[in-house]
Each structure stands twice: as C-alpha cells, then as structure tokens.
A and B are shown apart, each in its own frame.
Chain A
Amino acid sequence: MTGIIEFIVLVFIVIGAFFTVVSAFGIIRLPDLYTRNHAASKSATLGVMSVLIGTFIYFYASGHSNTRLVLAIIFIFLTSPVGGHLINRAAYYTGVELWGKSSRDDLKGKVPVKK
C-alpha cells in the first residue's frame, strides 16, 4: 500500500461523506417533500457511489478485485433514482401538497389525485 493509493482512497471517501452530509442538511432544512426527495435521491446516491469507488480502489490495490462491489455500485446507480421517483409519484397521487411558494404545477388537473 503506497501513499498515493491511500491519498486517492481518502479523497474519494471524504468526498462521499461530504455529499452525504449535504444530503442530510437538505433532508432537515428543505420545506417540502419533493425538494427533500430531490436532495435525498441525488446527493446521497452520488456520495454512496463515491464511497464505494474509494473502497473498491482500496481493495483492488491490496490484491482483492471484488466484482460484488462493482455490482453494488451499478445497482445503487440504477435503483436509487427509481425509488425516489416511485415515492414522489405515490406522494403526488395521494395528495401531498407542494410548498406554498412553488409557482408551477404541471400535473394539476391531469392526474386523479385522491385525498
């Protein structure tokens, strides 16, 4: 394990933890379900993928090349936005209201919303 590999792994993992903390701040502070979902499903996904890439580089440099980790990266990249979309859709269809100051609602009157 040379120093440059440790430095690269540290950069990836610290960037991932930073993005996750940004996502947590968004989840606490944003006013609306849809904006919170925006923060959670994009920033947390990018942070976790960065952490997993750092882990993969660490274990690849020390001799273990793991296909399971690559599979986990691809799986999270594919499924986390899909989960966010499904939650958003379920929330809109069950009548969760938008933020009071949001100015545009393209789906208003076009989908059946049950209260």
Chain B
Amino acid sequence: MTFEIIMIISICLLIMSILANIYRVVKGPTSPDRVQALDSIGINLIASIAVFSVLLHTHAFFDLILLIGILSFVGTVAFARFLESGVVIVRKR
C-alpha cells in the first residue's frame, strides 16, 4: 500500500517537472531553449512511463520507453542541425 502511494507521489513529481519544462517551452527567449525543453520533456516522459509500468505491474510498455528515447534523440539532432545551418539533410551536389 505504501509502495503504491510513493509511486503515485513520484509520478506527480515527474509530471510537475514536465509542467516546468512546458513553462520553459512557452516562455523561453530563444529557439534552442525550446528545443532543449522539448528534449527534456521526452526524457521525463520516459521516466513517467517506467514508474507507471511498475505501478500497473506490466511489462508491455518497455518498447515505448526505447522508442521515445530514440525519437527524442533524432528530433533533437534534426532541430540542432536545422538551427545551425538552415538545412537538416545536406545535398552534396
């Protein structure tokens, strides 16, 4: 019983930190700030899915953890390349 209560409290903490990142996405003065905050939202979402799967005692969401990690990394790299040079995929001709 105490186990579930502490799990729910830590899910609430993770969602609070997602809300803090959303504040930074809305307010952030520059666009790399927003990209950084979205990457951090992806990371926090991974943690909340992990705690949620412990709470439900199912191991069906582990693919989702790996998938969100990969998608967050690819999106961050694409946005960083776009901000730096204006193109995502360089054409060599």
A binding-site residues for B, Cβ under 8 Å: 6, 9-10, 13-14, 16-18, 20-21, 23-25, 27-28, 33, 36-37, 40-41, 44-45, 47-48, 51-52, 54-55, 58-59, 62, 64, 66, 68-69, 71-72, 75-76, 79-80, 82-84, 86-91, 93-94, 96
Q: Do residues B59 and A80 form an inter-chain contact, with CB atoms below 8 A?
A: no
User: Is the CB–CB distance between A72 and B47 below 8 Å?
Assistant: no
Contact: A68 with B63, CB < 8 Å? yes
- B24 is contacted by which of A21, A28, A90 (Cβ under 8 Å)? A28
Residue contact A71 to B66, C-beta cutoff 8 Å: yes
Interface residues of B (CB under 8 A from A): 3, 6-7, 9-10, 13-14, 16-17, 20-21, 23-24, 30, 32-33, 35-37, 39-40, 43-44, 46-47, 50-51, 53-54, 57, 59, 62-63, 65-66, 69-70, 72-73, 76-77, 79-81, 83-84
Residue in A54, A59, A94 whose CB lies within 8 Å of B32: A94
Contacting pair B47 A27 (CB below 8 A): no
Minimum Cβ distance to chain A for residue B25 (Å): 10
Nearest Cβ distance between residue B38 and chain A, in whole angstroms? 10
Contact A79/B65 with A17-B14, A86-B80 known, Cβ cut-off 8 Å: no
Nearest 3 interchain pairs by C-beta: A24-B17, A24-B20, A86-B80
* Cα(A68)–Cα(B60), bound, Å: 11
Chain A contacts for B37, CB-based, 8 A: 27, 40
B13→A87 contact, CB < 8 A: no
A21-B3 in contact (CB<8A): no
